[in-house]
Structure 1
Amino acid sequence: MSGEAADRETRGRETDGRETEGRTTHGPGTGAAGGPERAGGGSGSEFDRDTAVTLREPGVYDAGLSAGWTILGAVNGGYALAVLGRALGAALPYTDPFSVSAYYLTPSLPGPAVVRTETIRTGRTLSTGQASLLQYAEDGTEVERIRVLATYGDLGALPEEARTAAKPPAIPPRELCLGAADHPAPPDSSAWAIADRLDIRLDPATAGWAVGAPSGKGEMRAWFGLADGRDADPLSLLLTVDALPPTSFDLGLSGWTPTIELTAHIRRRPAPGPLRVAISTRNLAGGFLEEDAEVWDSADRLVAQSRQLARAPRG
């Protein structure tokens, strides 16, 4: 692992000197009272508590993966990615993820985890790092769950100008969309613990799968938020891009759709309020499908994009 993390707090940063959320100014590895330095977890949000990491030694963070974010017993990939994102935001000079590419090697499970980070390069406006999330097998050996390569910067320093042909998804008003109480439970709903932590209101046009009538188009559209009302930020967008029901449901398939690789681009800091998410797949072949996601904020701005490759369920 790189030794840069050890002296990052004491050397000058190539920023405007502003303090950033989730970072302390005490020496590496210590908080205000000399205890372990902890990133995240300071708010009342369950998401912040469950993505918090604690600095063990330079570049190494301890974490605990919560059972509250699981699907069929495995930790949701977007939630696990946010844990990695939290650690990289603490290790790098900048806290905002710009581009994050993750390879999912083995299923992540609830329980203790370790995130090992390495700074690859730091420039005037962007820093690149890599991180691995590891857990322990029964014999005590480390098992790598996810490996990430990411570039971080300051989204607040970007110009406001946007030239784009992209448009927000056409979703009915939130009150006309379907929440958890408005339709039958999804397949294997008792094992979808993550559903209790999300406020998802599905576009009725993409919710037919819930009553046995999938459209076959491979689309999901929804209003999205966290159930405890926490507003979105760049870190939580890493969860958002992987939080809706998989498009395979709309293709008439049910069951776990494990992610193989996911790349997320965070474009802006989202405005307060609910998000709109649109996910689609155009090709299921050889037992794999791709999913393209767009996330729009309450100010009609595209704040995140992603593409992932996933294994299609056998249902």
Structure 2
Amino acid sequence: MGHFDDETAIRHEGDGRWTTSITDRWNIGQTANGGYATLAALRSLSEITEQPDPMSVTTHFLRPVDAVGTATIEAELVKRGRTVSVGRASLELDGRQRLTTTGAFGDLTRDVGADGAVTVAQPEVSPPERCVPRAELDQGVELPILDRVDVVIDPSCARAGGSDRAVVSGWVRFADGTDPTTMALTMFADVFPPSLYPLMGSVGWVPTIELTVHVRRRPAPGWVLARFECDDLAGGRMIETGSLWDSSGALVARSRQLGLLLER
């Protein structure tokens, strides 16, 4: 197994309970990346729904996942269907509930109806070798997660405060060469700098209140292209919309995130 599968693995303890080991290798600063923190809950929901692909995932982050050790997941089946099954899960660490997740799961290799030409066009982005590694950006926060994922940013949005648009685009892949999966797309949707960075400069850690990811297809091997835009900022609360495309150019996920732009 690669780092991703190994470090998001779960152990079934019976009676709707699982455990997982939380590591700081996927941290943004002192806090676990939200997409990584959600994965153990998603794996429990895949088991309880008996479906392989998370098609719709909504996670509310109640408290930061800012410790390491054994976490407990409790999951329940809400509805079992032939094409879509729904479950709910929560993650507890050090006696405190950290997040809750609702997921609709299915099998994305099975067509269930019409297939049309309605999609989101892939944007023009510099190839990965011409992009700027995220580690070189002035972000105001340590990024241990960059030992686990390669994230590179298009030069047009790689300079803090260097753009008149709140847009970040670039590429992501696992650093160890593991192929992307539908499970990984939830994490990939949460590993880029905040889209406010090129507009407002170094904004540090922007904690997520809620993250929703709609997975559209199983991704092909290789780099995943991403584009994120903050389309609403009011009172320190930002909304960001994202899209992910695989190496074949197919749209594989859409995301919507509500986050906090905290006073520095």
**TM-score, structure 2 as length reference:** 0.94
Distance 2:255 2:241 in 1: 6
Whether the aligned pair in 1 keeps the contact of 2:172 and 2:226 (CA below 8 Å) is: yes
Indicate yes or no: 2:234 matched with 1:281.
no
State which of 124, 148, 173 in structure 1 corresponds to 2:101: 148
Q: What letter corresponds to residue 241 of structure 1 in structure 2?
A: A
Deviation, structure 1 residue 125: 1.1
In the alignment, is residue 131 of structure 1 matched against residue 131 of structure 2? no
Partner Cα distance (1:162, 1:279) in 2: 25
- Alignment equivalent of 2:203, drawn from 246, 254, 274: 254
Contact 1:171 1:222 survives alignment (8 Å): yes
- Shift in Å, 1:184: 5.1
**CA deviation digits over 1:4-35, x for unaligned, max 9?**
xxxxxxxxxxxxxxxxxxxxxxxxxxxxxxxx
> 1:259 is aligned with what amino acid?
T
Q: What secondary structure is seen at the aligned counterpart in 2 of 1:237?
A: helix
Per the TM alignment, residue 90 of structure 1 is displaced from its structure 2 partner at its CA by: 1.7
The structure with more strand, counted as a fraction of residues:
2
Count of equivalent residues: 261
- 2:244 is matched with 295
Residue 113 (str. 1) matches residue 66 (str. 2): no
Q: Which amino acid aligns with 1:135?
A: L
Aligned to 2:30: 73
2:80 maps to which of 109, 122, 126: 122
Pair 1:172-2:126 in alignment: yes
Residue of 57, 82, 87 corresponding to 1:100: 57
Instruction: State the 1:253 CA deviation.
Output: 4.2
Q: Does 1:51 align with 2:5?
A: no
Aligned identity (percent) is 34
CA distance in 2, matches of 1:216, 1:314: 21
- Aligned mates of 2:27, 2:91 — CA distance in 1: 16
Measured against aligned partners, the alpha-carbon deviations of 1:143-196 in whole angstroms (never above 9, x if no partner) come to: 111111111000111269342241012101222111257x455323xx311122
CA RMSD of aligned residues (A): 1.6
Unaligned runs of 5+ in 1: 1-42, 137-141
Change (3 A) 1:165 1:237: closer
In structure 2, distance between residues paired with 1:82 and 1:216: 34
SS in 2 for 1:208: coil
Selected match of 2:166 from 196, 218, 226: 218
In structure 2, what residue type is equivalent to 1:261? E
Q: Partner letter of residue 58 of structure 1?
A: D
Distance change in 2, residues 1:312/1:299 (3 Å): same
> Contact between 2:137 and 2:158, CA under 8 Å: does it hold in 1?
no
Letter in 2 for 1:131: A
Whether the aligned pair in 2 keeps the contact of 1:97 and 1:234 (CA below 8 Å) is yes
Partner letter of residue 198 of structure 1?
Answer: V
The answer (yes or no) to whether the contact 2:138–2:202 under 8 Å persists in 1 is: no
Per-residue CA shift, 1:50-78, capped at 9, x if unaligned? 10000011311000111101112111101
Say whether the 8 Å CA contact 2:139–2:202 is kept in structure 1: no
* C-alpha separation in 1, matches of 2:121 and 2:234: 28
Question: Which residue identity lines up with residue 27 of structure 2 in the other structure?
Answer: T
Structure 2 residues without counterparts, runs of 5 or longer: none
Aligned pairs for 1:184-199 (under 5 A) are: 186-188=139-141, 191-199=142-150
Partners of 2:124 and 2:85 lie apart in 1 by 36
Q: Write the distance in 2 (CA, Å) between the matches of 1:69 and 1:60.
A: 23
TM-score, normalised via structure 1 length: 0.79
- Is this contact kept in 2: 1:103–1:261, CA < 8 A? yes
2:159 equivalent in structure 1 = 208
Larger Rg: 1
Deviation at 1:248, TM superposition (A): 2.6
